[in-house]
Structure formats: structure tokens, C-alpha cells
């Protein structure tokens, strides 16, 4: 049994722009109201430090990058808690539909025998937070793409 929060969004921007948004961690405070700060090299095995807004006061959490595919996505997991009590995996992936559209998938999976407790305390907050972040990715990517297209039109 697991808590799964999986969402696919079609975004009216090229995959490269969405990649720029999700992989440019220092800019998260500009658009991300859930994960308001993130620090990492995004190299598999390296830490990813996330400051998330689950409660009134944001809190830091450290996870570890497990996958990185430049331009396509990355994933990270918490350090597993002993005895299989709790583990998580978070992934971001992008698939181009054409030159100006793509699908962004955000997936979070939490499992272990402590999962029901975590779900009862944080389930709604996690769902709301990931929804806000997903919408932030879409809005930021579409804004950047529209601004760049305006610049190309003005220059051409």
C-alpha cells in the first residue's frame, strides 16, 4: 500500500523550457509556492535540500538524487527509514509532444508501514502542495515561452 500523487499536465511550451524551469533550482523562489527553495547538483547520489511549505513555517528536508536525464527528468528519494517503515520517491519527467508543447509528469510515492500515519497527517497538504507546484511549473514555462516568442517576433 502506498500514497501516490501522480499528475500529468500538458504545457504550451517546448520541453526545453519546462526542463529549464524544473532544473533551475536557484529560481524556485520566483515561482514555486510549495518547494520555496531547493539546492542540489542534481548528480545521482548527491543530496537535494528542499525547503517546503507544508505548515505555517517552511521546513528543510534532505533527500538524495537517484536519477538524472538531462532535458527529460530527474528523481530523488528520502533516505529509507529502518525496518521498511517509510520510503519515498519523487520524480519529474517531460515528454515533448511537438516543438511547442509537452507533457510534464510529477509523481510522488510514499510507502512503508508508517505511510498511513503520514498520510493522515500530511496527505491533504502534500496533495495541495504538489498541485500548487505543478501549476507553478505550467505557468512559469508558458510565461517564459510567451516572452521569448514576443522577443523573436519583435526581432524578426
In tens, the pLDDT along 88-115 reads 999 999 999 999 999 999 999 999 999 9
Is the pLDDT at 120 greater than 80? The verdict is: yes
- Which domains are seen in the chain, by residue range? 2-155 (3.30.530.20)
Q: How far is residue 10's CA from residue 104's CA, in Å, rounded to a whole number?
A: 6
Contact 115, 86 (CB under 8 A): yes
In tens, the pLDDT along 33-89 reads 999 999 999 999 999 999 999 999 999 999 999 999 999 999 999 998 889 999 999
SS (H, E, C) 35-85: EEEEEECCCCCCEEEEEECCCCCCEEEEEEEEEEECCCEEEEECCCEHHHC
Q: How far is residue 37's CA from residue 52's CA, in Å, rounded to a whole number?
A: 7
Is the pLDDT at 142 greater than 80? The verdict is: yes
Average pLDDT of the chain is 96
Amino acid at each position: 500500500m502506498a500514497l501516490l500523487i501522480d499528475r500529468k499536465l500538458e504545457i504550451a511550451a517546448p520541453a526545453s523550457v519546462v526542463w529549464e524551469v524544473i532544473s533551475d533550482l536557484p529560481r524556485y523562489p520566483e515561482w514555486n509556492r510549495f518547494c520555496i527553495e531547493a539546492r542540489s547538483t542534481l548528480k545521482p547520489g548527491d543530496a537535494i535540500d528542499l525547503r517546503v511549505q507544508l505548515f505555517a513555517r517552511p521546513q528543510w528536508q534532505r533527500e538524495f538524487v537517484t536519477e538524472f536525464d538531462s532535458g527529460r527528468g530527474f528523481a530523488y528519494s528520502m533516505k529509507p527509514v529502518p525496518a521498511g517503515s517509510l520510503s519515498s520517491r519523487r520524480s519529474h519527467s517531460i515528454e515533448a509532444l511537438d516543438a511547442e508543447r509537452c507533457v510534464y509528469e510529477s509523481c510522488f510515492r510514499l510507502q512503508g508501514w508508517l505511510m498511513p500515519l503520514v498520510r493522515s497527517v500530511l496527505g491533504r497538504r502534500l496533495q495541495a502542495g504538489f498541485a500548487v507546484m505543478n501549476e507553478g511549473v505550467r505557468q512559469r514555462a508558458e510565461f517564459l515561452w510567451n516572452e521569448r516568442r514576443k522577443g523573436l517576433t519583435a526581432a524578426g
